[in-house]
Chains A and B, each alone.
Chain A
Amino acid sequence: MATISTHLRNFKEPTKEQAQRLFFSLPPNPPPEDVGPTDYRFEINAVLMLNEGQEDSYAGKLYLLPPYLCFVSLDRRSVKMTMPLSAIRRVERVNHGRAGVFELGLMLWHGMRLNIQLTALRSTADAFCANLRDALKIQLDLGRMKQVKQFVKTCYSEVLIPVSNPEADNEREDGSIMTEGGDGNALAKTTYHGGLGLTFKFPGDAKKLREGSKLKLWTTYLRAHGRNLTLLRYPHCTRLVQVGLPNRLRGELWETLSGSIFLRFSNPGVYEKILRDNAGKTSTSTEEIEKDLNRSLPEYSGYQDEKGIATLRRVLTAYSWKNPELGYCQAMNILTAALLIYMSEEQAFWLLEVLCDRLLPGYYSPSMYGTLLDQRVFESLVQRCLPMIHDHFHDVDVQLSVASLPWFLSLFINSMPMIFAFRIVDCFFCMGPKVLFQVGYVSLSSILKINGEKLLSIQDDGAFISLMREYFASLGESAHPKATDPRSRAIIKFQELLLVAFREFSIINDEMIENERRRYRGEIVHSIESFAKRAAIRNLSSFGRFSKDQIGLIYDNLFKALVVAPPPPPVMTKRLIPGTDDEMERPETRIELKTFRIFLAEIATWARDEYVVSNGFQERVERRVAEHEFVDRLFFFWDINHNGALSFQDLVNGLDGIMFNDLMSSIEWFFTLHDKDQDGWLTKDEVLVLSESLLFIFRSEVGDAYLGTVSRFMTNAFEYGDALLPEEGEKMSPIPNEVSANTELAPSLPSNQPYLNRATFRMVVLADPLLEAFFDVDLPRSFKLQPVEDSSAARGQTGLGLLGNVGGFLSSFVTDDNKKIFNSFVDDMGKAIGKHQVTVRPSINQHERNLALQEPLKETTRHLQRLRSQSSLTTPTSSTPSGVSASPMSSQSNLEKAPLVPPTSAGLKPAPVLPSPFTDVSPLAKANAAAAAVMENRQAFAIDEAGDEDDLDDSDLAELSGDDEGMMAEVDAFLEQNDASVGAR
């Protein structure tokens, strides 16, 4: 029933380049052909000027990240540009006649002109220009330049601003300049994408929302600063977003501000293709989607209509096929329903991708870890900044998340009146996830201010939810009903909420949230994984004879094996036979042979090779998974339902079948394991295989006592087997009588015929004290359930103490690679000073017995090979009959020689020096890795400290907090200018 997921272990901090792409809202993986054969990426200091002084000049950094050119001002918030290279029409060198000034003039698609001064050494500036030229050439060659004209027609802003620059107007779709009229006025035929709102009306009263004035303001802004693909973001843009986007432009601005427009631009036709390719198919996700279609913003008229429902169905379904691992998660329906009011299916599809991937990472994944993580971050925020609320909630055991979870999961849509929620969504796409924290936080603090008494007398979750509902429902009311100044009276609670959020809480910024996420990630991953573990254990139908703790250890080892060798992804389209009820929402995790080997190597001492490495600095044990037919045999033995894979329960049952055994049941177990057809008889082949299994198990033992034992075992087995054969009257084998009759001629018995029965096997075993001891004690005990070292923070090398106290569960995991590199580094040093030594650790007889005789393993192996060459056994797994049959007599004579080989070595056998898997790592890289490992330990960022800092970077809004009344003035100006009543609802 349970799915064991290890994907949370795959988390990696973004690389520097990934971080840059995130910052500029670029698609995470640009198509290789757009990137080009060489790495054209470039970073250079620059000063940006728009349209010869339309806006102030800003100093900042220019990034060439093909196929984009990006710029951000030094404060990282005033100016931000993400420009597809294909929207750049001309680049020229501007000659000022001033020495030392290197200036470029860029003509953009929408007719803006950017002047960029490269403030770098001349050689650097030249190199940048060369790269820019090459990157532009790639775009031209790929035909991307041509696509711009076609693409922008899908944008409403092109209708809004039909008067375009001569540059764009004269350009044909192929990018060449037109010489005659003809296809001239293409823009008149613009067919822009729009949402359901165009058909079913937009929510809210257009007049009260001051739709017309907002459109006018945006028209002015977009005309001068670019639009859709070419939008440049200056502070005024953010302010306009904060007063609410006009309905008709909302969809386009959402995709522009979030960057999803770039995905749509570079993936033409993909959405339609996904729908086409999956037409008629169903999956768990499509079924879940179907159930939710009628409960997605049902109050909106568009969703009371089959047309709207069908739109929603297509987008959600297409996304579930695009991202089958995520599939569909409740709340995505609400979000998508909201998007579709303002944008087309294709626009919504790509915006959904950006939401799931970048803006709300992990929120909707099967474990929902992103949701849980951000709830934890939010809680810690409240704990620090609103301790009164936190302490009270703690006292009465009220959980913040019961209310705040839906805020984050569905961006406040459904939590507050739609038109307000959409304004939060506006800000969210413009400024990022911090908006959710800011608004959530300020909502709580507002209630504390307005209705503190009630908030602090709450006794349970229900009362808290009700209070929040009440507050959100009142957002349209005046924030200062008793104020004498009509203008203050006109400010509604929602406006005040935003004002306070952006003006006073710009300390809640992206960096702080990232740091907080980093701080709690380990905790959340741990709690999700231990929850899954508890569920898996609970759902076992039997523990066998294991205690709960032991079961836990089995799970831990299974989990560890899954991390190393994950199972293949579950099949998506399961619903091929309708009405089969045993299909679960997520199929049970089963491990394949590959994973099983790793699992068993953790548990059975003989299923791994242990090398003791010492290099003068540290001594450590390196484990290698042993591959042998015996391990595979065990896998199929435990797979009682012949699934070709083992469940957690199978593993528990399998281990239960051996770990509690006494002498007799161990012998029985070992016999049954090798009795392939389960007829109670081993064939000669099987006797050989069994012997080989024993040799495998004993392969690392010191001395040759065990090897001698195996030799004797084989001798005796064949002797007794032959001797007993003719007299065995009461043979219980299912062989037909005539075959039995043939076996009277014992020496010529085919090697695939029943040969040795249980009783005889037992006798042979008991004849040898060492074998007896092995079956009595060593075999059951060779299975050991030990805590998985990975899950303890204290694991790691103690030798140098360098990695000893890496904090947190996950971070210690993440440094695994570093640790390997570190080990190899120390080994190299050990080799250099001649102290590097590797020895094999025995698996069965670890310390218990002293053995006198010593013999290299290969001797007996050679005997076995000789023996085998005389039998039909060509491969270890083969059990098919073949013409040649082994002569027991000759086998015996060969084997008798085995124990006579004199001892050759004593003590631990030196193993060949292991080839290091990291030989290609330079010492510098190793040292860096070691340093990185140490850095894992650094102190996490604290919110409290953040509050003390004056200047916090990376906040579009901090700009507003600079001039305190910025936003207020803006709103007031806006209100006056438009002479409209407030409280638009």
Chain B
Amino acid sequence: MADTSDATQKPIQVKLVLLGEAAVGKSSVVMRFVNNEFQANKEPTIGAAFLTQKCRLEDRVLRYEIWDTAGQERFHSLAPMYYRNAQAAVVVYDITKAASLEKAKSWVKELQRQANPNIVIALAGNKLDLVTGQASTPGTSAAASSADDEDEADDATATPGETEEEAGSESLRQVPKDEAMAYATEAGLLFTEISAKTGEGIVELFTDIAKKIPIEHILASRGAAAGGAANANRAPAVNLNETSDPKNACAC
């Protein structure tokens, strides 16, 4: 609906991959972003699930091609197939599970050594709803911006306050926000805490990534090498936008 004014602007494809330990909520994050819903995951993932979602950024429209990878450890050796040529990666951990941050760090290392050198990596601590009301005070302001999720029944849980809940939830947090943020800063990553359940921070996460993506660079390299480092000498003039169809752009 909102996009018609920009109809001339064809969306720019951005390949984004989600990585992280099993059950940290990768698929839920994607579901929230793509369908704006939270439900028990019904989509079986063999290797990786593939979804798309458009994202508006000022005067541009991005079309995210999202690869939601299987979390099981033995699929790890398949991951390069999905993160190769990716322009962005969201590495998810679960803030109520310390070990999941370690796994996330290991993914970040792998991406930094093996993936596209210009890849934008975001570290996202999920399941913020489980510790809401505590420690996340700077983050809760972001909750307001996810207000587009109007009719979400779960919204109530996102509102900070109830002291009773605070006491109980405090113990659930295993990864202090400071610690993760310090690591992210040091490693040069975007960082945020999110909740796929309430929607908090999800849209911002993808928008922030979009802002950091070197769009001009993508456009230039697309024309030159069609995204592949292996065939830099083949340079077909590719019309990148031929297949895209802007009618189901999202409202983000």
Q: Give the B-binding residues of A (Cβ under 8 A).
A: 1, 288, 291-292, 294-298, 329-331, 333-334, 365-368, 372, 394-397, 399, 401-402, 405-406, 409-410, 414, 457, 459-463, 465-466, 528, 531-532, 534-535, 538-539, 581-586
Cross-chain contact A414 with B23 (CB below 8 angstroms): no
A401 and B44 contact, CB distance less than 8 A: no
Partner of B238 from the list A402, A414, A459, A539 (CB cut-off 8 Å) is: A459
Q: Are B106 and A528 in contact (CB under 8 A)?
A: no
What are 5 of the A-B contact pairs (CB < 8 Å)? A294-B40, A405-B47, A462-B13, A531-B77, A581-B174
Question: Contacts of B229 on A, CB cut-off 8 Å?
Answer: 397
- Are B42 and A298 in touch, CB under 8 angstroms? yes
Task: Say whether B77 contacts A368, CB under 8 Å.
Answer: yes
Are B74 and A397 in contact, CB atoms less than 8 angstroms apart?
no
Residues of chain B within 8 A (CB-CB) of A586 are 73
CB neighbours of A292 from chain B (8 A) = 44
Q: A105: shortest Cβ distance to chain B, in Å?
A: 51
User: Which of A397, A405, A531 is close to B226, meaning CB atoms less than 8 Å apart?
Assistant: A397
**A331 CB contacts on chain B under 8 angstroms:** 46
Question: Which of B47, B99, B102 makes the CB contact (< 8 A) with A402?
Answer: B47
Tell yes or no: B43 within 8 A of A by CB. yes
Q: State how many angstroms separate the Cβ of B126 from the closest Cβ of chain A.
A: 16
Bound: A463/B44 CA distance, A: 20
**Smallest Cβ distance from A517 to chain B, in angstroms?**
18
Cα A734 to Cα B129 with chains together (Å)? 55
Q: Which of B15, B98, B113 contacts A460 (CB 8 A)?
A: B15
Chain B 1-52 interface residues, beta-carbon cutoff 8 Å to A: 13, 15, 22-23, 40-48, 50, 52
Residue interface mask B98-113, A partner, CB < 8 A = 1: 1100100010011001
Residues of B within 8 A of A394 (CB): 230-231
Is there contact, CB below 8 Å, between B46 and A334? yes
Known A295-B42, A397-B227, A401-B81: A330·B75 in contact at CB below 8 Å: yes
Closest A residue to B242 by beta carbon equals A457
Contact B74 A368 (CB under 8 A): yes
Q: Does B217 contact A (CB under 8 A)?
A: no
A464 to chain B: closest residue by CB: B50
Name the A residues within 8 Å of B84 (CB-CB). 397, 399
Whether A330 lies near B227 (C-beta < 8 A) is no
Please determine whether B99 and A395 come into contact, CB atoms closer than 8 angstroms: no
Closest approach, in angstroms, between the C-beta of B17 and any C-beta of chain A?
A: 11
Q: Count the A-B residue pairs with Cβ separation under 8 angstroms: how many?
A: 129
- Nearest B residue to A292 via CB reads B44
A684 CA / B216 CA spacing, docked (Å): 74
Indicate whether B219 reaches chain A with its CB closer than 8 angstroms: no
Which of chain B's residues have a CB closer than 8 A to the CB of A397? Answer: 84-85, 226-231
Q: Report A-chain residues with C-beta under 8 Å of the C-beta of B230.
A: 394, 397
The answer to whether B74 touches A366, judged by C-beta atoms less than 8 angstroms apart, is yes
Q: A368-B77, A372-B77, A538-B109 are in contact. Are A288 and B41 (CB under 8 A)?
A: no
In whole angstroms, what is the CA distance A394 to B231 when docked?
8
- Interface: B141 (CB within 8 A): no
Q: Is there an interface contact between A367 and B231, defined as CB atoms closer than 8 Å? A: no
B74-A367 in contact (CB<8A): yes
| Contacting pair A395 B226 (CB below 8 A) | yes
Q: Please, which residue of chain B has its CB at the minimum distance from the CB of A414?
A: B44
In the complex, which residues of chain A have a beta carbon less than 8 angstroms from the beta carbon of B165?
Answer: none
Known A368-B77, A397-B231; further 9 A-B contacts with Cβ < 8 A: A288-B72, A399-B84, A402-B48, A406-B47, A414-B44, A459-B238, A532-B77, A535-B76, A535-B110
A462 to B11, CA, bound (A): 15
Shortest distance from the beta carbon of A330 to any chain B beta carbon, whole Å: 5
Q: How far is the CA of A291 from the CA of B98 in the complex (A)?
A: 20
CB distance from B103 to the nearest CB of A (A): 8
Decide if B182 is an interface residue (CB 8 Å cutoff).
Answer: no
Q: Is the CB of A539 within 8 A of B109?
A: yes
Closest residue of chain B to A372 (Cβ to Cβ) is B77
Q: Is the CB of A1 within 8 A of B102?
A: yes
Contact B106 A539 (CB under 8 A): yes
Nearest CB on B from A528, distance (A): 6
Find A581's partner among B44, B82, B99 (CB 8 Å cutoff).
B99
Per the bound structure, the CA–CA distance linking A525 and B72 in Å amounts to 20
Contacts of A532 in B (CB 8 A): 77
* Alpha-carbon separation in the docked complex, A401 to B50 (Å): 13
Nearest Cβ in chain A — how far from B64, in angstroms? 10
Shortest distance from the beta carbon of A293 to any chain B beta carbon, whole Å: 11
Look across to chain B and name the residue whose beta carbon is closest to the beta carbon of A397: B228
Q: How far is the CA of A421 from the CA of B22 in the complex (A)?
A: 28
A329 to B243, CA, bound (A): 35
B60 at the interface (CB under 8 A from A): no
Residues on A with C-beta less than 8 A from B174 are: 581
Asked whether, in the complex, the Cβ of A395 is within 8 Å of the Cβ of B236, the reply is yes
Tell whether A288 pairs with B47 under 8 Å between CB atoms, given A402-B81, A405-B78, A463-B243: no
The residue in chain A whose Cβ has the minimal distance to the Cβ of B222 is A459
Chain B hits for A582, CB < 8 A: 99
Q: Does B97 contact A (CB under 8 A)?
A: yes
Which residue, A294, A333, A460, has most C-beta atoms of chain B within 10 A? Answer: A460
Whether A291 pairs with B23 at a CB distance below 8 angstroms is: yes
Residue of chain B at shortest CB distance from A465: B50
B41, B73, B97: the one within 8 Å of A585 (CB): B73
Task: Give the complex CA separation of A331 and B74 in angstroms.
Answer: 12
Interface string of B157-184 (1 = CB under 8 A from A): 0000000000000000010000000000
Nearest chain A residue, comparing its CB with the CB of B105: A539
Residues of B within 8 A of A459 (CB): 226-227, 238, 240, 243
- Please name the residue on chain B nearest to A409 by beta carbon: B46
Flag whether B249 is at the interface (Cβ < 8 A): no
Closest chain B CB from A354 CB (angstroms): 21
Contact B44–A296 (Cβ < 8 Å): yes
- In the bound complex, CA of A471 to CA of B102 (Å): 41
**Are B50 and A462 touching (Cβ within 8 A)?**
yes
Q: Given known contacts A1-B106, A397-B230, is B74 in contact with A460 (CB within 8 Å)?
A: no
- CB pair A295–B41 under 8 Å, yes or no, is yes
Cross-chain contact A395 with B234 (CB below 8 angstroms): yes
B46 touches A406 (CB 8 A): yes
Q: Does B70 contact A (CB under 8 A)?
A: yes
Partner of B227 from A1, A368, A396, A466 at Cβ < 8 Å: A396
CA distance A333 to B45 in the complex (A): 11
Pick the contact of A291: B22, B42, B48, B113 (CB < 8 A).
Answer: B22
Residues of B within 8 A of A399 (CB): 81, 84
Q: Which of B42, B113, B226 contacts A538 (CB 8 A)?
A: B113
In contact, A396 and B72 (Cβ under 8 angstroms):
no
A368 and B13 in contact (CB under 8 A), knowing A397-B227, A414-B44, A463-B243? no
Known: A414-B44, A535-B110. A330 touches B99 (CB 8 A): no
Give chain B interface residues in 79-123, CB to chain A under 8 Å: 80-82, 84-85, 97-99, 102, 106, 109-110, 113-114
Q: Does B155 contact A (CB under 8 A)?
A: no
- Assuming the contacts A367-B74, A538-B110, A581-B99, asked whether A333 and B44 have C-beta atoms less than 8 A apart, the reply is yes
Q: Mark B183-216, 1 if CB is under 8 A from A, else 0.
A: 0000000000000000000000000000000000
Within 8 A of A (CB), among B120-166: none
CB pair B106–A334 under 8 Å, yes or no, is no
Residue of A with least CB distance to B99: A581
CB-contact partner of B75 in A368, A539, A583, under 8 A: A368
Nearest CB to that of A535 among chain B residues? B110
